[in-house]
Amino acid sequence: MTKIKAQAEACSGERSYQELLVNQNPMVQPLASRCLTWKLYKCIKKSVKQKQIRRGVKEVQKIVHKGEKGIMVLAGETLPIEVYCHLPVMREDRNLAYADLGAAAGSKCPTCVIMVKPHEEYQEAYNKRVEEVQSLPLPL
């Protein structure tokens, strides 16, 4: 990390990736790497612009039950884990891509789960993120 970027983060009050990982819960698997986390944040921002994002356990659960496709992004520091521990099982039943982020899931509104839906404006980036997320090692 460059010195200027480190100073900017220190001045802005933002916590580093390593500081955010300290608060993760034990269920966080598969955890997205720092690079993948950054790429997922970009994809989330693009989906917000196109209004193709769903936030919160209730809303994401409805979408999964309807059979819609998307990338499920879980916040790794959510406690108690019972709030969303059923979502990875639902994801595996419907073959959806999902990843846990060590940091909150890139949303202004506090939430523990986000579903990024595909859209033609960012379809190429979305497809790359799906491939990267699906290549993460599965939890045992």
Quick: pLDDT tens for 83-127: 887 887 887 788 888 777 654 455 567 788 889 999 999 999 999
pLDDT digits (tens, 9 = 90+) for 70-87: 888 888 777 777 788 788
Name the H helices within the chain.
3-12, 17-21, 34-49, 57-66, 87-94, 123-134
Of residues 97 and 128, more confidence is placed in 128
- Average of pLDDT values for 35-58? 88
Residue 52 has pLDDT above 80, yes or no: yes
DSSP calls for 48-60: HHTT-EEESHHHH
Global pTM reads 0.73
- Cα 78 to Cα 26: distance, rounded to the nearest angstrom: 10
**Nearest partner of 76 among 30, 43, 139, judged by Cα:** 30
- Average of pLDDT values for 8-30? 60
pLDDT grade for 59, boundaries at 50, 70 and 90: very high
What one-letter code names the amino acid at 58? K
**Domain residue ranges of the chain, discontinuous segments joined by +:** 23-135
Q: Can you give the pLDDT at residue 21? A: 64
- Cα 88 to Cα 37: distance, rounded to the nearest angstrom: 18
- 23-135 under CATH 1.10.390.10, yes or no: no
Name the H helices within 52-86.
57-66
Q: What is the mean pLDDT of the chain?
A: 77
